[in-house]
Structure 1
Amino acid sequence: MSDIDRKELHRRIMILRDQAQAGKIHLAEHLAADVLESLTRVQLAPDGLVDPGTVDGTVRAMALMMAHFQDREEWKNAISLQQVQDAFFQAIDHQFGELFQIMKERHAEPHQIAGAYVQEDNLVQEVAQNLPEFFEQIQEFWKNIADPAWIHGEDQTGIKAIYGGSIFPSSGHNIASSCGLYVDTIILPDPLLRISRLVNHREPKRLVYDVLRFGLQILNYRSLALAEIDVPIVAFLPDKLNLEEGYSEFIHSIATDDCLKHVSVLFGRKFESIDELQEYVKQFEQPNDLVAALANPDRLLFDTEFTQSLDEQIRAYMQGEGKVFNPKKAGDIIIPNFIGRMSQANDLLRRSFELRGTPLIDAETSWKYFNWKLEYDADYTSSNDLTPLHVVRGLQSAARGEMQWLGNIPPEALIEMRQQGATEELREILSQGVFDIAASEPSNFFRTTEQIVNNIRGAFEQHQQNLTKLRNKTWKFAGIDVGTWVVIGTIEVAAALSGAPTFGLLAFAADQLIDVPKLKELPGKFQEIQKDKQTLKTSPVGLLFQQSRGKR
């Protein structure tokens, strides 16, 4: 054992000793005697370090576990999640803040600003030559704080949605607008870290466009990430795919198995290995040869928005996005395309598992492949509560369909809902009936969307009824008072409403003869109605209703 390994073993044993002395280790009765005996055998060597020969496997395992927990707490205490987010946005604002301000002043979108910028070749060239250093700084930033950031993400309480399926959410809407009504925290990746791997694979103009677009998109989420609330609405965390050694290989191995399952359905025959599949697809020279062999052609999906024939799509893919794989034949696109798609799905599932969250996908094509992955992975659908996944998906679909205002709720309105404590009630309303659908039909997300739309409609209808009742109550009260004011006089009524005492014969007579609230009751009843009004306006459904009205 090297000196470094011995020092680390010594550190772990000392942590174990300290935890034991502090009474923080609790053992099952049937294990206690053997463990204590193992601990008593641990001795120090003449150099003052623990003698490795006196430490058995049980003690090593316990010491490793205790050291892991202590290191984890030290990481968390070193920097908070809020500090991580503050530092990240300071760095992003330093690079893109000025351009972001221009975008806001012109009421433009990130893709519009980025598109206009890259029309100037000299600007593209100037930015492109600095990108390698820029990406190095991004990677270095996250390497320094990745561990505490991940730990905070894992330990963050509440319902979490983990974004995946594409580099970053669409710039056309804020993904927190709809999903933030149900989940507590949306975990977003740093898109700049994600595209840092593409620096040598994309032409400069496209790369500069992406950097500018993503930088501006990140700043669109700043208020949600930095809002002063107990649980962040949005948090940015780095991908392990970019930073953790061995993670990429792990995901690739799982994706390879899923690729074999997928092509088995695609061709209607079973494949046992990638080598067997590779040999099989060699025969397909032309796109029409490949299409003719497909048992389930719908599983060869390039983009849900493509309307051309499958032959044409294959040809376009070979000459476009798939060109990076250098395909000579139509069959050459099968393995890299599907392994890439399944890697994407498995990475999202893995991150969701580690962060104890729900997968969140914005891209329709990625959503299709993710669903196929779930179909091939029965363990996931049988061992997980799919309600959050169904609700999140339903909200996204509703926001793209008949309730488009859901995708345009301003960040400040979402923050107000959180500050008012509206999340729990909204979550309960949105998820009514969804659990039963998710349990009985795990893949039926259309029914989920329909259920959620109906839930929102039902809540709004009830809210409208409450508003109507309140308006009637107010009008009746005001209507009676109009007649009363003629007798009582405005001074007395004003005094009554303000709570000040009033005197007068006419006021006394009206109080006795007309069936209206007594003057002394007016302040309380008026204030009660005002309170009811405010309560309705600031209720969870009321806050949401205001947004729906404003966006129609």
Structure 2
Amino acid sequence: MYIDGVIDVSLWNRAGWNGILYVFAAEAVPVVGLLFDGQDAGRKIFSRWKHNLGENDSRELIRFSIIEGDITSEPDGYSVFIGTNPKAAISRAKTRGYDIEQQMLCTGRFHRMTPPPESCNLDNFKKEYSKYNSYILAPAIQSSQGPIVLFELGIVKKDVNFLSSDNLKKDHLEYVVLKKEPEWNGKGSGMIEAITSKSESTTPEQVTEAIAVFETELASGAVEKNIDPMVIDSLAEVGYDENGLILPDTVNPALVATAELVRAEVIEREAARMPLIDVQKKYVEFLEYYFSKPYGDMKTHELTPHQMAKIMAKDKDYVEAWKSAAPEMFEYLKELWSTANVVTASHLRRMPTLKAVYGGNVFPHPESNLVSNVGLYADTIVLPDPIFSSLGMHAMLQPEHSTYILAKNALAAMSYKEWAIADVDVPILVFVPSYFYLSDQLPKIIEVFSQSDLQNHLGKVFDYRFNSFKDIEEYFEHAPDVEALASSVKNKERFVFDIEENPLPLDQIGIILDDFEKKLTIPFEPLPSKMRLLKSLQGRFMQANNVLAHCDLYGGIPIIDAPTSWQYFLWKLECSASQLSMGAEDTLVTHVLHEDLRNIPCFSKVPAQGIIELRRSNKLQGMREVFRRGIMEISSVDCDAVEDVTKKVSQNLRDALQEYETHVQELPKEIMSVSGQAVALAGSVGLGIAAASTGSIPLAIIAALSGSSGVSSAKDIMKKLNEIRGSRKRLKSNPVGIFWKV
């Protein structure tokens, strides 16, 4: 993020800007004086500008605007805005060797002018400005004789923006004069940066530390080119008390924000030196300590996590054990992730690979088998720790239900542990914390974004213009009941509560919401079903915004495996008119592989060694190219795009398998004499890449084949294989071999 320093907020606060004045003279450009109460601070503002910009603001870095028209709750008059011109700031940064690619933080000040109705000063300024196409911006100070303009500190400018309050758009910097809450437009990334870079330095000690780190990095020359010179200049204004702590009123907030960003970069740089796998091993140790016994029982009895969790939730001893252990587990994970979150984030952000970030639910469905489908396309799967979030809800739920949720998610996580600690250069899977439960700020910000999305979405559902989220609440409150709401729905396809029910009768919504509340142990303020429904619909958009926030943080694409959550994710993109900052094609291909094709036998039987070997032999990119073949650039993620990509990926897979089968049939007959059978799809048994790509057949498979191969021992098979190994070289480089049995 680039932080501009045109406006030093602390200096402006001390200067006390309270208006403007105009000076007109014959045959001279007009002068606009910024009237300050504080003479010294006002002088410093313009002295610093002249030092950095010169006598003439040739780049028009200072943005000066006059906004006429009525503003709600403001007296008659016009508003004046002064701040940064973003285009000029970007151009200036480039000349210093820094390219602003994503976020830039600009600050501004505005003041409401209330001249008497008969005043013609503004009209005269417009006339004089149109005559000379320039003006002088200068400081003015109060004195006993009246305002005094400090002409020697004036700066020549050419641009002034004459605007109307009626025509201000949300992307205007001057929109702030309307004093409305700006709504996030959802474009690009940056949501998580609002969380991670937001000032946490609320104490002088923390501010002092951040500034000290900043000055150290500045002295080393590591950051100077991407810091606005005016931000650096504001260091001279910083004051300290007798204990060496910064005096808050003397430090520019832009300087604090810059210092904290630099400190965050230093921390991230240091965190990246810690091996990511060490964090993963710590988490896996935690899983095994608490859940290895039930996981072993589950495997022994061939149960699913859901079935095993149901058994555990019915056992009073289990319930009491988890109830007493929950606080200790929660504190351990909180400490682990509070320390290790920067390690996982720094490593993932630095990986120039395709990362698929799971969202839409607490954890993937136990039968999802993400690695066997998404793992054939994405380099790394990012999974949120489900235990920490489950424990976060522990006190709210009835003990039996809490035990079920905790056990099901933990047992599902256990099935992924081998991937998290696999010995590969690029991690196959990484467990990370959910910032939604770790951060105090993220839930609040996501709630605001989600309310905006819901406002747009429900406007289409009811064909009604909602001007705010409060309008929505009043709309639901005034409806007699859920049935009355249903009768006012104009677009029923968008009034979705749970796609999995296919469809869910509207008169059952209240029953389902009541059933959920029966699982709660903490009594909530009673809400009618219609308002609980509103909360549920908002929760869907919160899920969508949450996964986007984590994709921003890690630089990944989303995986959403719940149909309802996926639909709301699509609607979220539509509502905010946003495009994914990550590749839309990769998002859709990953979704299709996971949601639409995962039950194909050749996916469900891919062995662990096959997934690992794809990476060790550098064939994963080839596999991606197989799936993406013929898929043109996708401009948006929507239902039509999903259908198109599903068809294309399915066809690509069929074509690749058919091509591979043709190559296999061209091999010498000796291969068939080894196996005793023709090549078949992996859906039969699933030997995998170990046979098709590496030429190293596991002893278990050799033993299984020896009875029908006509050879007397495993030794004979290995001898034959060594003789024909050269004939298999072209298959060895084909990633599609992972789906085949030889």
Q: With structure 1 as the length reference, what TM-score do the two structures score? A: 0.79
- Cα distance in structure 1, aligned partners of 2:593 and 2:253: 50
Count residues with an aligned counterpart: 491
Shift of 1:165: 0.5
Cα distance, 1:212–1:73 mapped onto 2, change above 3 Å: same
Give the aligned partner of residue 190 of structure 1.
385
**1:319 maps to which of 494, 511, 514:** 514
Cα RMSD between the aligned structures?
Answer: 3.3
Kindly indicate which of the two structures has a greater share of residues assigned to strand: 2
Q: Secondary structure at the match of 2:397?
A: coil
Give the aligned partner of residue 143 of structure 1.
338
**2:556 maps to which of 347, 354, 357:** 357
Q: Secondary structure at the match of 1:97?
A: helix
**1:377 maps to which of 576, 580, 599:** 576
Shift of 1:310: 2.2
Give the aligned partner of residue 135 of structure 2.
none
Contact kept? 1:164, 1:344, Cα under 8 Å: yes
Q: Secondary structure at the match of 1:470?
A: coil
Cα distance, 1:456–1:133 mapped onto 2, change above 3 Å: same
Residues 1:295 and 2:515 are matched in the alignment: no
Name which of structure 1's ranges 46-55 and 18-27 shifts more when overlaid on structure 2. 46-55
Q: Secondary structure at the match of 2:382?
A: strand
Residues 1:409 and 2:582 are matched in the alignment: no
Cα distance, 1:336–1:5 mapped onto 2, change above 3 Å: closer
Task: Map 1:170-181 onto structure 2 (within 5 A).
Answer: 170-181=365-376
Contact kept? 1:13, 1:63, Cα under 8 Å: yes
Task: Map 1:456-495 onto structure 2 (within 5 A).
Answer: 456-471=653-668
Residues 1:450 and 2:647 are matched in the alignment: yes
Shift of 1:87: 0.4
Cα distance, 1:90–1:37 mapped onto 2, change above 3 Å: closer
Shift of 1:16: 4.1
Give the aligned partner of residue 432 of structure 1.
629
- Cα distance in structure 2, aligned partners of 1:301 and 1:335: 11
Q: Secondary structure at the match of 1:434?
A: coil
Cα distance, 1:112–1:151 mapped onto 2, change above 3 Å: same
- Cα distance in structure 1, aligned partners of 2:249 and 2:314: 68
Write the letter of the residue equivalent to 2:618: G
- Cα distance in structure 2, aligned partners of 1:331 and 1:343: 19
Deviations 1:31-55 (A, max 9, x none): 76x6786668889888677898987
Contact kept? 2:584, 2:637, Cα under 8 Å: no
Cα distance, 1:463–1:47 mapped onto 2, change above 3 Å: same
**2:501 maps to which of 306, 322, 337:** 306
**1:279 maps to which of 474, 491, 508:** 474
Give the aligned partner of residue 495 of structure 1.
none
Contact kept? 2:460, 2:491, Cα under 8 Å: yes
Shift of 1:221: 0.6
- Cα distance in structure 1, aligned partners of 2:415 and 2:727: 35
Give the aligned partner of residue 345 of structure 1.
544
Shift of 1:259: 1.3
Give the aligned partner of residue 72 of structure 1.
268
Identity of aligned residues (%): 26
Give the aligned partner of residue 496 of structure 1.
none
Deviations 1:372-414 (A, max 9, x none): 1111122225x6530110110111233245x243244233321
Contact kept? 1:6, 1:50, Cα under 8 Å: yes
Contact kept? 2:375, 2:428, Cα under 8 Å: yes
Deviations 1:203-249 (A, max 9, x none): 21121122222222111111111110011111000011111121111
Task: Map 1:197-216 onto structure 2 (within 5 A).
Answer: 197-216=392-411
- Cα distance in structure 2, aligned partners of 1:366 and 1:36: 46
Task: Map 1:12-411 onto structure 2 (within 5 A).
Answer: 12-27=210-225, 62-77=258-273, 79-307=274-502, 310-321=505-516, 329-381=528-580, 384-400=582-598, 403-411=600-608
Name which of structure 1's ranges 13-22 and 290-299 shifts more when overlaid on structure 2. 13-22
Cα distance, 1:315–1:405 mapped onto 2, change above 3 Å: farther
Q: Secondary structure at the match of 2:597?
A: helix
Q: Secondary structure at the match of 1:235?
A: strand
Contact kept? 2:391, 2:406, Cα under 8 Å: no
Cα distance, 1:165–1:59 mapped onto 2, change above 3 Å: closer
- Cα distance in structure 2, aligned partners of 1:399 and 1:356: 25
- Cα distance in structure 2, aligned partners of 1:280 and 1:35: 47
Q: With structure 2 as the length reference, what TM-score do the two structures score? A: 0.60
Give the aligned partner of residue 133 of structure 2.
none
Cα distance, 1:334–1:106 mapped onto 2, change above 3 Å: closer
Cα distance, 1:301–1:59 mapped onto 2, change above 3 Å: closer
Shift of 1:80: 2.4
Shift of 1:181: 0.7
Which structure exhibits the higher relative contact order, with contacts defined as CA atoms closer than 8 Å and separated by 6 or more residues? 1
Shift of 1:348: 0.7
Name which of structure 1's ranges 81-90 and 213-222 shifts more when overlaid on structure 2. 213-222
- Cα distance in structure 1, aligned partners of 2:332 and 2:638: 46
- Cα distance in structure 1, aligned partners of 2:243 and 2:504: 75
Kindly indicate which of the two structures has a greater share of residues assigned to helix: 1
Shift of 1:301: 1.7
Deviations 1:405-425 (A, max 9, x none): 324423332112212211110
Write the letter of the residue equivalent to 2:354: I
- Cα distance in structure 2, aligned partners of 1:287 and 1:46: 64
Contact kept? 2:211, 2:259, Cα under 8 Å: yes
Deviations 1:490-531 (A, max 9, x none): xxxxxxxxxxxxxxxxxxxxxxxxxxxxxxxxxxxx989522
- Cα distance in structure 1, aligned partners of 2:384 and 2:498: 23
- Cα distance in structure 2, aligned partners of 1:93 and 1:326: 39
Unaligned runs of 5+ residues in structure 1 are 476-525
Cα distance, 1:37–1:239 mapped onto 2, change above 3 Å: closer
Give the aligned partner of residue 483 of structure 1.
none
Deviations 1:49-70 (A, max 9, x none): 7898987677656544433322
Deviations 1:5-38 (A, max 9, x none): 5555554454444434434345389x76x67866
Cα distance, 1:42–1:206 mapped onto 2, change above 3 Å: closer
- Cα distance in structure 2, aligned partners of 1:18 and 1:309: 61
Cα distance, 1:250–1:50 mapped onto 2, change above 3 Å: closer
Cα distance, 1:156–1:343 mapped onto 2, change above 3 Å: same
Name which of structure 1's ranges 45-54 and 317-326 shifts more when overlaid on structure 2. 45-54
Give the aligned partner of residue 16 of structure 2.
none
Contact kept? 1:110, 1:217, Cα under 8 Å: yes
Unaligned runs of 5+ residues in structure 2 are 1-9, 11-200, 673-720
**1:420 maps to which of 617, 629, 641:** 617
- Cα distance in structure 2, aligned partners of 1:162 and 1:474: 41
Deviations 1:469-501 (A, max 9, x none): 2237989xxxxxxxxxxxxxxxxxxxxxxxxxx
Q: Secondary structure at the match of 2:314?
A: coil
